[in-house]
Chain A
């Protein structure tokens, strides 16, 4: 039986993190489609999804054999590093120290590069393949990492799948880069979510459970989000 206090943040983390990655992959696939037509773009994207599916099919049974405690410690540490990286970047962007990511600029520069390199269909498909494979690798890691406890892989996969459907649905409807997605806000929230999960998984892996059980995940996520807000405020004030 899935505990929704744990499953809800898992679904949210997988959904939001996957949204960010899928938007980035979509921008490149769209650029390929604009330059060389939809066929190589779709072929490349589908081939990359097939490779990722094979990776998941191979990794899934192997991960199931690893003792949960050890897996949670390793995955928790990796999640901490990954989540804190996102949170740090988002805090620095909020504070105006790093430039915000702009999907429209990314789209136009990608289109310019593809036009200038005079790609044939095979090379265009390869560009789409590479984009989906690289961004998809991050999605696979996030899904496997936040679902690193028996029964949580399905909620994580549901979150990522929903993000995929939503982003692709909007993307196909608009046929334009998804510039209105608040990328930095999403990265900030996802950074907090992944950091919270990372701390929680590490403690479970070390055999030191939190008081309050799974409810601590929500408290930890809140703690890191509030800390991020305070830090960005402090750094912004110092910078001005």
Chain B
């Protein structure tokens, strides 16, 4: 039972932290957009494009760094 719970926890962790830096970058991008939105720095009309671009950059960086390893 303990083993199974441990494996379930590992599966959940693997689902969301398959690559630590990708997860951290995505959370940073979403966090920055949220802060920008609520601090009225990022207008609602710009936010979607900022988020979409940030996610694209996160993917590119993660793939490039994995390719270099």
Give me the interface of A with B, judged by CB distance under 8 Å.
73, 76-78, 80-82, 84-85, 87-89, 91-92, 95, 97, 126, 130, 133-134, 137-138, 141, 195, 198-199, 202-203, 206-211, 216, 220, 223-224, 227-228, 231-232, 235, 238-239
Contacts and interface: CB of A to CB of B under 8 A. Distances in A.
Nearest to A80: B26
Interface string B51-63: 1100110111011
Given A92-B67, A208-B37, A223-B52, 15 more contacts: A73-B30, A84-B59, A88-B19, A88-B22, A130-B7, A195-B59, A203-B47, A206-B33, A206-B34, A206-B44, A208-B47, A211-B45, A211-B48, A216-B48, A238-B67
A97 B66 contact: yes
Nearest to B16: A81
A85 B51 contact: no
B30 A224 contact: no
Contacts of B62: 84, 88
Contact of B7 (A97, A134, A206): A134
A207 B44 contact: yes
Contacts of B4: 126, 130, 133
Contacts of B12: 137
Contacts of A220: 52
Contacts of A141: 15
Contact of A73 (B8, B22, B34, B63): B34
Contacts of A202: 30, 33, 51
B64 interface: yes
Nearest to A91: B63
29 contacts: A76-B30, A78-B16, A81-B22, A81-B23, A82-B16, A84-B26, A84-B55, A85-B23, A88-B18, A88-B62, A91-B59, A91-B63, A92-B66, A92-B67, A97-B67, A133-B8, A134-B7, A141-B15, A199-B48, A203-B47, A206-B47, A207-B37, A207-B44, A210-B48, A211-B48, A220-B52, A223-B56, A227-B60, A239-B67
A134 B10 CA distance: 10
B15, B33, B37: which has the most chain A beta carbons within 10 Å? B15
Lowest 9 A-B CB distances belong to which pairs? A208-B47, A208-B44, A85-B18, A235-B67, A203-B48, A134-B11, A77-B30, A210-B48, A206-B37
A71 B8 CA distance: 23
